[in-house]
Each structure stands twice: as structure tokens, then as C-alpha cells.
């Protein structure tokens, strides 16, 4: 059976990876992943993505938490 390509959302600090059907805006992907925009940056390779950026199927993005404790 053919598997349609999806967007791969990697959460490196949680060592977690999600597959979400696209295309979707970054802010929608964050909502799906349960992450708030003011706590992360989103990257695709060496590119930083704005929250309204549209991500296509087949793409891989990284969601990096920026919250430091202590």
C-alpha cells in the first residue's frame, strides 16, 4: 500500500518524532505537537522558520525548546 509523504516534526530534546500530514503552517504543527510558540524555535536545516511559514509534505523540521531552568 502506498504511504503518502508527511511532514516529519522532530523534537530533539524529547527524543521524539511525529509524522503529520501537510501542508501545514508552523503554528498549526506546533499546536498539533502540543508546543507553545513562545517556548520554541523551529528550524529546517540551516533555515529558521516563522510561525506562518507553510511546510510541505516530505519536509523535516526541528522544534527546539528554548526554555532554560534553574
Partner 1 sequence: MKCKRCRRAEAAVDLPSHHAAFCPDCFFLFFRRQVTEGIRKLRLLAPGDRVLVCVSGGKDSLVLWDVLMDEGYETEGLYIDLGIDGYSDRSKEKVLTYAASRGKTPIVVELAKEGIPIPEAARCVRMQECSVCGTVKRYFFNRVAAEGRFTAVATGHNLDDETARLLGNLLHWQRDHLARQHPLLPGEDGGLVRKVKPLWRVSEVETAAYGFLKGIDYVTEECPMSEDATSLVYKEALSRIEDRMPGTRIVFYKGFLDPSNPLRNGPEAAAPADAAPMPEEDAESGATRGTDVDAEGRDGTPRACASCGAPTFAETCSFCRMKERVRNARSVRAARGTR
Distance set, CA 15 to CA 18, 47, 62, 63 (Å)? 10, 21, 11, 11
Of the candidate residues 7, 29, 33, 40, the single one contacting partner 1 (CB under 8 A): 40
Q: Per this entry, what is the length of the chain? A: 70
Of the candidate residues 5, 19, 48, 58, the single one contacting partner 1 (CB under 8 A): 48
Q: Does 16 bind partner 1 (CB under 8 A)?
A: no
| Phi, psi (deg, nearest 5) at residue 29 | -65, -40
Q: Does 23 bind partner 1 (CB under 8 A)?
A: no
Judged by the rule CB under 8 A, the positions of this chain that interact with partner 1 are 12-13, 36-41, 43, 47-53, 64-70
Amino acid at each position: 500500500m502506498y504511504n503518502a509523504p508527511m511532514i516529519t516534526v522532530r523534537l530533539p530534546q524529547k527524543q521524539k518524532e511525529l509524522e503529520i500530514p501537510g501542508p501545514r503552517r508552523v503554528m498549526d504543527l506546533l499546536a498539533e505537537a502540543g508546543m507553545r510558540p513562545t517556548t520554541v524555535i523551529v528550524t529546517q536545516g540551516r533555515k529558521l522558520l516563522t510561525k506562518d511559514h507553510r511546510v510541505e509534505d516530505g519536509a523535516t523540521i526541528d522544534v527546539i525548546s528554548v526554555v532554560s531552568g534553574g
